[in-house]
Amino acid sequence: MPINNVGYRAWDGITRGALSRCLAIASTGIGITFKSQWIRRMLFVSWLPVAYVGIGFFFFEKYMDEQIRQTIQGLDTENKIDFERLRREAQQNIRPHEANQRIPPGDLRGALSLFPKSDVVIRSIMNDSPSVARHTTWCWMLMFFFQYPQGIMMIMMIGLIVPPLISRDLRSRAYLMYFSRPIGRLEYLLGKLAIPATFLAMITLIPAMTIYVFGVMLSPGFSVVLDTWDIPFRIVIASAVLIIPTSLLALMFSALTHESRFAAFAWLAVWGLGEGAYRAISAAQFDPRTLPSGEPVAQRITDWSFVSLFGTVGKAQTWVFGLESDPRAVIPFIIVLLSISVVAAFVLYRRVTAPINA
Amino acid sequence: MAPLIHLENIVKFYGRICALDNVSLDMGPRITGLLGPNGAGKSTLIKVILGLVRINGGEGTVLGYRLGRDGREIRSQIGYLPEDDCYIPGMSGVEVVRFSACLAGLPPIEGLRRAHEILDFCGVQQERYRDIETYSSGMRQKIKFASSIVHDPKLLILDEPTSHLDPEEREDLLNRIRVLARDYNKSVILCTHILRDVQSTCDDVVILFRGQVKLHQSMEQLSLPSSPTTFVHFDGDPERFQRQLQRAGVDAVESSPDVLQLNGIDQDLIATVWRIANELGVVIQSITPARNSLEEVFMNTVREENHAH
């Protein structure tokens, strides 16, 4: 029995606006999702790559520091130069290609060639000033972080979180609980979208920002922030590129069925089949011959990676991090991602209240 | 007094099926029972009142707001208890009620305070902290009721509120509805198939059939029999008592061994019954005016319509 039962009492407080209802849907969904042990484990695992990328930042900064030191010492033949002043200037101005020549370029290429877009990074380290090389290398490492470990984690995490979000409401008819209150479709959808967005931000945006801060702390001076001020914005945009189309697509699958396992299957099938199709087409089109100009034929073949959602998101992120030199090459991928987002949002908007009208 | 719900020639089609056919209705601030066989259009009427579906014709107002235009304002002042389970797995009872409060716009902390208060009112004890999936159907029903009133709405729409409840819980819930209507001026639309609940709780009755309003009357009027009749339950010699009443000009027939059915309901008749009972030493146990049963009214309405078609 309650200690003090006051019975029914009228309530005349001030109700909040539409945003608070969105937040209520989102926070409740996040709370329920967070109860899952699997999700908590996945969150833990998805932070492990931060250590690898952090180590990458550390070695890069050590390498750059060593190169600058060697360059300055090479110039300082009479020991009359203010070492610290020159070191600061070197951060901005000196092109360390002379020093870099001491390291056989082949070794560096060999170490990095396993990774995509490594040619851009190698070129920058060899030819650009340390500040430019740093910007390029940080962007490249962050792009790699987004595209591979976190990209794969995202597929698994959305596959676990999103399929039940709407299909469960349809199955238990909980949508009546929402729509019999002053809630519109848009608020409902924004609230639901915020659930995967929050979890994906936890494995992309927040760790990437952490890596960036870690990089700044490892760097020789605070002036590095001025050289890399745009990277946090690129991280935000890259996170949005990863979060918005994928979450909308997964929510759309969830809205199309009462059975969350079907939605999960459709979600995984889109990634698996897309990647499989891309690889099959690429293999079929690969031609090892070279043209008279020396350019390999394979490079001239159309890039089919937009068939794969993984490739599409990756390509867009490469552009966001400034590693794609030709913006026109990215347009088809941006169009694919926009189309997915628009179609998924449209279907969601139509589907969420469809059972009420049945 | 302005009607709480005013509907005028409301038409609603689902494809080619006419769910509501020129429904015109004025509901006052009372407890109204909404009756009708399955497929009569009750759920559609509720959805129209909540502003959840677009109407194909007609117009109306709910709580002073225009149908089809002010759906959000209407829903903010209505508490709806759906017939279906409508729960979100993974939440405890108190979390569900708090969530409902937040969906209605209450701040989170106030929502939690209010949820506990309402759960106390609804007789939900410590089980409020258990996962809702472990609840019995009756417990879920209580949580749904608590969710529907947590934001203190002006109008309550209760769709089968007493289903899955045991007799004691059913009576408790009906009492709560009466308290809300009587002491807190809540208007209630009670949609149920349990006619006894309607008879014991409602002030008005609306019977829908094939998308049309077939009957809309107050319970008081509805209960009156076609001819005024009084039942006298007594202890004594039935033949002598009946004979003496007939001699006094009262039309009395034996209804059952200790019950006489008298034609009439006025005070003179009652006085005559008391006088003769006193003379003969008959013990009067009860004198009850006859009432139509709602079941009878409902069946007659539906039957007449079936014959008409």
pLDDT digits (tens, 9 = 90+) for B194-215: 888 888 899 999 999 989 998 8
In Å, how far is B117's CA from the nearest CA of chain A?
Answer: 7
Helix (H) or strand (E) holding B277: helix B267-280
Residue B249 phi, psi (nearest 5): 90, 15
Q: In chain A, what residues touch B99 (CB-CB under 8 Å)?
A: 24, 28
Inter-chain touch B103–A178, beta carbons under 8 Å: yes
pLDDT confidence of B252, banded at 50, 70, 90? confident
Among the ranges A5-14, B57-66, B217-226, which has the highest mean pLDDT value? B57-66
Q: What is the pLDDT of residue A296?
A: 60
Q: What is the pLDDT of residue A102?
A: 46
Q: What is the pLDDT of residue A282?
A: 81
**Cα separation of A144 and A53, whole Å?**
9
Q: What is the dihedral of CA B271, B277, B283, B284, to 10 degrees?
A: -30
Q: In chain A, what residues touch B132 (CB-CB under 8 Å)?
A: none
Lay out the sheet containing B252-256: strands in order across.
Answer: B252-256, B259-263, B229-235, B283-289
Contact B158, B177 (CB under 8 A): yes
Nearest to A15 among B88, B106, B125 (CB): B106
Lay out the sheet containing B78-81: strands in order across.
Answer: B78-81, B155-159, B187-191, B31-35, B204-209, B212-218
Minimal Cα distance from B70: which residue of A? A182
How many C-beta atoms surround the C-beta of residue A285 within 10 A? 12
Q: What is the pLDDT of residue A210?
A: 94
Residue A39's Cβ-count burial label (10 Å; 0-12, 13-18, 19+) is middle
Q: In b/e form, how buried is each residue of B42-80, taking b as 16+ CB within 10 angstroms? A: bbbbbbbbbbbbebeebebbbbebebeebbebbbbbbbb
Which segments of chain A have a pLDDT < 50? 98-102, 104, 300
Mean pLDDT of B279-288: 89
Minimal Cα distance from B80: which residue of A? A180
Q: Identify any residues that bridge with B230 across adjacent strands, giving them in sequence order.
A: B262, B289
Mutate to test the interface with B, among A6, A8, A15 (most CBs of B within 10 A): A8
ipTM for this model: 0.81
- Report the sign of the C-alpha dihedral through residues B195, B198, B203, B207, in that order: negative
**pTM score:** 0.82
DSSP B230: E
Range of weakest confidence among A121-125, A152-156, B27-31, B44-48:
A121-125
Q: What is the pLDDT of residue A299?
A: 54
Q: What is the pLDDT of residue A99?
A: 47
**Cα separation of A270 and A263, whole Å?**
11
Q: What is the pLDDT of residue A227?
A: 87
**Cα–chain center distance at B286:** 27
Mean pLDDT of chain B: 88
pLDDT in tens, B103-149: 999 999 999 999 999 999 999 989 999 999 899 989 999 999 999 99
Inter-axis angle of helices A130-147 and A230-255, nearest 10: 10
Give CA angle at A214 (A143, A145), nearest 5°.
20
Inter-chain touch A180–B78, beta carbons under 8 Å: yes
